[in-house]
């Protein structure tokens, strides 16, 4: 599995800035080939990034491989630059684990008494302003973070979606989004089922703001980004971006970049990051570094079933049973996962909704398995 040192040189815009430390050349070749396939599947709309890294304290420490393909945006549509491994990108729902970390930190600090507390006890004024149904406030913080609240998703509300599509320059506040769905009776009894909804995490974002008395993006920066030295991560439409190129994210051929209406994502998916920063975060999370107590990570990784066989959900984290990977992915195929058996992390993006990042994970895991069988044979 692990050999010397391989450098993946630039090849006409295909593999740029890639470096591999101690990863078998055949595994590297597999990753390069599959990332190029994903790039081709984008049909010119969206550049791709991938990084494999190891825990600093793990048995396989010292592994690093990264690669960039394609362009920052569709050529001819805007000022396109070649993607590099330093290009920033929108991480969409990979934002959710960051929200969960802030909530668990507030529990550690005693600002939240229990994850089983009803959210309405902390943000009653939000429920009043959004004209929330009386049952909404009884949903617990744990039920929100584990996607088991039964609340409706504003992205599935036809009235919201119509307003969203018609107003590309509109800046959406969190409460404006919630006001489309919170007045409705919840879909099911709290805690009885799994239903993924961004509404849950927008409510958690407002809870964080109520308890910290500051904007959510400030809490991200003070409690996560600064301590972990994540210098290329920020909240879009709420903060000034740091210098450097930013990849565009696409729905087929529709460019989601620089559309103010995407401000609706907020706590459910508005962060922008980089390969290096996301790697720092998922590695730190795997080692419990954002927390004072190991109990906090245990809460986040307490898995419950979803409607999909082999996939479970904790607090802001997916767990893929068959391969023992946990993390999150997002709209546009951004992804951030930790593979526990090998103590390796896998982060990146395809910047295209009409694609599938899981093809990369499958190719990687199959290549590792093949190498292991060869070594043992």
pLDDT for 269-288, tens place per residue?
999 999 999 999 999 999 99
Q: Which helix (H) or strand (E) holds 286?
A: helix 275-286
Instruction: Examine the pLDDT at 334 and tell me if it is beyond 90.
Output: yes
- Whether the CA torsion 76, 78, 84, 85 is positive or negative: it is negative
Kindly state the tokens that stand for 4.
């010397």
Q: Is 283 exposed, middle or buried (0-12, 13-18, 19+ CB in 10 A)?
A: buried
Q: What is the mean pLDDT of the chain?
A: 91
Structure tokens belonging to residue 105: 């930190």
- pTM flag (> 0.85): yes
Residue 197 has pLDDT above 80, yes or no: yes
Q: What is the pLDDT of residue 271?
A: 98
Residue 49 φ then ψ, to 5°: -135, 145
What is the tens place of the pLDDT at every residue in 47-105?
Answer: 999 999 998 766 666 778 999 999 999 988 778 899 999 999 999 999 999 999 999 99
> How do strand 234-235 and strand 271-273 relate by DSSP bridges?
antiparallel
With beta carbons less than 8 A apart as the criterion, state whether 154 and 200 touch: no
What phi-psi label fits residue 22: left (phi over 0), alpha (psi between -120 and 50 degrees) or beta?
A: left
- For 116, the 3-state DSSP assignment is coil
Strand partners, 75: 78
Q: Closest Cα to residue 194, out of 134, 135, 153?
A: 153
Residue matched to tokens 């190498």: 371
Q: Which residues pair with 349 in a beta bridge?
A: 49, 334
Backbone angles phi, psi at 148, to 5 degrees: -130, 30
pLDDT at 3: 31
The answer to whether the CB of 148 falls within 8 A of the CB of 190 is yes
pLDDT at 347: 98
Distances (CA, A) of 204 to 72, 77, 195, 236: 32, 37, 16, 18
In this structure, what DSSP letter does residue 332 have? T
The DSSP secondary-structure symbol of 231 reads T
- Backbone CA torsion sign across 282, 337, 88, 19: positive
Distances (CA, A) of 273 to 20, 42, 100, 180, 309: 21, 21, 17, 29, 30
- Interior/surface letters 150-186, b for 16+ CB within 10 angstroms, e for the rest: bbbbbbebeebeebbeeeeeeebebebbbbbbbeeeb
Stretch 217-223: mean pLDDT: 98
Q: What span, in angstroms and rounded, lies between the C-alpha atoms of 319 and 192?
A: 19
């Amino acid at each position: 599995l692990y050999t010397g040192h391989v450098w993946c040189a630039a090849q006409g815009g295909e593999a740029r800035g890639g470096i591999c430390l101690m990863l078998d050349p055949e595994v590297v070749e597999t990753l390069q080939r599959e990332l190029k396939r994903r790039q081709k599947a984008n049909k010119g709309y969206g550049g791709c990034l991938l990084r494999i890294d190891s825990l600093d304290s793990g048995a396989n420490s010292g592994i690093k491989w990264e690669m960039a393909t394609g362009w920052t945006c569709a050529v001819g549509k805007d000022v396109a630059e070649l993607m590099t491994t330093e290009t920033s990108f929108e991480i969409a729902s990979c934002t959710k684990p960051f929200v969960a970390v802030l909530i668990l930190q507030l529990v550690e600090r005693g600002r939240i008494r229990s994850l089983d507390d009803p959210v309405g006890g902390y943000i009653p004024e939000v429920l009043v302003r959004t004209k929330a149904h009386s049952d909404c406030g009884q949903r617990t913080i744990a039920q929100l973070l584990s996607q088991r609240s039964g609340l409706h998703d504003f992205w599935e509300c036809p009235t919201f979606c119509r307003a969203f599509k018609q107003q590309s320059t509109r800046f959406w506040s969190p409460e404006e989004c919630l006001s489309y769905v919170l007045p409705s009776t919840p879909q099911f009894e709290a805690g009885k089922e799994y239903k993924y909804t961004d509404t849950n995490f927008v409510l958690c974002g407002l809870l964080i703001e109520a308890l910290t008395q500051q904007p959510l993006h400030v809490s991200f920066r003070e409690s996560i980004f600064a301590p972990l030295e994540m210098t290329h991560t920020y909240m879009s439409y709420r903060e000034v971006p740091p210098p450097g190129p930013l990849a565009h994210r696409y729905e087929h051929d529709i460019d989601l970049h620089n559309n103010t209406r995407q401000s609706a994502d907020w706590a459910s998916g508005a962060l922008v990051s980089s390969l290096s920063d996301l790697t720092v975060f998922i590695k730190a999370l795997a080692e419990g570094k954002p927390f004072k107590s190991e109990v906090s990570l245990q809460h986040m990784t307490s898995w419950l079933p979803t409607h999909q066989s082999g996939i479970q959900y904790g607090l802001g984290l997916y767990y893929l049973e068959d391969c023992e990977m946990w993390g999150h992915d997002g709209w546009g195929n951004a992804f951030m996962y930790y593979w526990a058996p090998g103590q390796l992390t896998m982060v990146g993006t395809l910047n295209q909704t009409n694609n599938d990042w899981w093809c990369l994970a499958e190719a990687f895991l199959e290549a590792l398995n093949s190498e292991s069988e060869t070594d043992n044979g």
